[in-house]
Amino acid sequence: MRYISTRGNSPAQAFCDILLGGLAPDGGLYLPESYPQVTRAELDAWRKLSYADLAFEILSKFIDDIPAADLKALVAKTYTADTYRYVRNGGNPAEITPLTQLEDGLYTQELSNGPTLAFKDMAMQLLGNLFEYVLEKRGESINILGATSGDTGSAAEYAMRGKHNVKVFMLSPNGLMSPFQRAQMYSLQDANIFNIAVTGMFDDAQDIVKAVSNDAEYKKQYKIGAVNSINWARVAAQIVYYFQGYFLATRSNDEQVAFAVPSGNFGNICAGHIARQMGLPIARLVLATNENDVLDEFFRTGVYRPRATAETSVTSSPSMDISKASNFERFAFDLVGRDPAVVRELWAQVDKGQAFDLSGTDFWAKMPQFAFVSGKSTHADRIKTIRLAHGRYGVMLDTHTADGLKVALEHRLPGVPMIVLETAQPAKFEGTIREALGQEPQRPADLAGIEELPQRVEVMAPDAGAIKRYVAERA
């Protein structure tokens, strides 16, 4: 299996060669040359597998440069009931991503049972083990530099903590994350994890990461890498739980399901799109946005209009607050018939902050075959939906999942089970839960009082030079 760039001007690469990198050299995103297909016989056999064995079968179709026995061991070590241990609502921990039935034909799928209580653990934990394995084989090391407003940074730190040949330098906006999120990250005492609280906003932190990324010499000298949402291995790992959700919600492979996906950077639902392209019987992919509705606008109108920073709002489902969706280019590549020249043309606009409009084109006429629908959810919708789920189904939802359920209810197909992906636990968003329900969300027992633990964090000014020196001294 070779990987090609959506912009068509980079050489095809093997899985391990794109694992540690980010964008392709031509600025595009990597995708498999073609999507592996799943036969009916495979689906029938896979229905009986454990999550780890299912992950092995699916990932084997995308990874041919890690020996099967090694990949099997890496996957088995990743997808354990011990790592994904915060199962709620009476789910079976052995299923790793169990379903909760809300009513007949309506489910949530818990993707947030990992160490940081958000779905990014599903892929990031595998990434940690893959990184360690490949770096060890190659006798290399990496220093991961990232900026986070919450979920990604903590998922990366919990995935990389204690890993050989990996260090993590994570910038976060000083004082702007919730006390729980701060405690999650800053209480880590592992020697390979460095938290830097930047006295500024998230954008200031991200600008520093960009400045470092643009300094090719520094990047090379200090082996700087990233684990951002465009990483192909993260998307690949996320394909697995679509298959698992399908098997859990159906009795036979003649049935179809729909998935509703709370979306920001389009990484999660991109994995659903690929699962469907592989042949998983998905009748519909329901994309849900919050007030930052750039993706909902595209799927309704064909216009993709990245927002200016000033146009992007801070919402109560903050992990979906995006101005443009970094993985969207992968879907666009498929939509335009995998023609890199068209993607280059479209992203020449996007990279200048401008919109493109596919409505009225032959490409847009092909949209129905991709089975996407979309909708948006506001703070008021979110509060209402959290109340509804609690009152009617006795289930406490987090704010992002509530956006997913709100939009899912607008797009159900008769006789087709609808699975809403649960992307975080309510414990992460106490303020909004209190506003909706007048009570505190339950927190896993072993995370009680985490705010009281000693914290390890360096507070620094948003000064790229100073932060480069800090990293250089410790890399």
Residues making contact with ligand PLP (CB under 6 A): 118-120, 151, 229, 262-268, 319-320, 400, 423-424
- Locate the DSSP E strands across 157-297: 166-173, 193-198, 224-225, 257-262, 282-289
Query: 155 or 358: whose CB is closer to ligand PLP?
Result: 155
Q: What is the CA radius of gyration of the chain?
A: 21
Point out the catalytic residue in the list 72, 120, 163, 406. Answer: 120
Counting DSSP H helices and E strands in the chain, the numbers are 19, 15
Nearest distance, CB of residue 265 and ligand PLP, angstroms: 3
Half-sphere exposure of 182 (CA within 13 A, CB side): 19
Query: 86 or 133: whose CB is closer to ligand PLP?
Result: 86
DSSP H or E run through 185: helix 179-186
> What's the rounded Cα separation, in Å, for the pair 340 and 12?
13
> What's the rounded Cα separation, in Å, for the pair 319 and 315?
9
Query: 98 or 114: whose CB is closer to ligand PLP?
Result: 114
Q: If you ran DSSP here, which 8-state letter would residue 13 be given? A: B
Q: If you ran DSSP here, which 8-state letter would residue 335 be given? A: H
Query: 109 or 192: whose CB is closer to ligand PLP?
Result: 109
Q: Report helix, strand and coil shares of the chain as percent, to nearest 5.
A: 45, 15, 40
Nearest distance, CB of residue 301 and ligand PLP, angstroms: 20
> What's the rounded Cα separation, in Å, for the pair 441 and 421?
19
72 an active-site residue? no
Query: 118 or 147: whose CB is closer to ligand PLP?
Result: 118
> What's the rounded Cα separation, in Å, for the pair 406 and 389?
10
Number of neighbouring beta carbons within 10 Å of residue 251: 8
Q: If you ran DSSP here, which 8-state letter would residue 62 be given? A: T
For residue 3, the cross-strand partners are: 13, 32
Nearest distance, CB of residue 70 and ligand PLP, angstroms: 28
Nearest distance, CB of residue 140 and ligand PLP, angstroms: 28
Q: Which of 353, 194, 374 is nearest to 297 (CA)?
A: 374
Alpha helices in 90-119 (DSSP H): none
Nearest distance, CB of residue 316 and ligand PLP, angstroms: 12
Nearest distance, CB of residue 330 and ligand PLP, angstroms: 11
CB 228 within 8 Å of CB 98: no
> What's the rounded Cα separation, in Å, for the pair 170 and 182?
12
Nearest distance, CB of residue 420 and ligand PLP, angstroms: 12
Question: Tokens for 167?
Answer: 């260090």
Residue listed under structure tokens 């890399």: 475
> What's the rounded Cα separation, in Å, for the pair 377 and 239?
25
Active site residues: 120
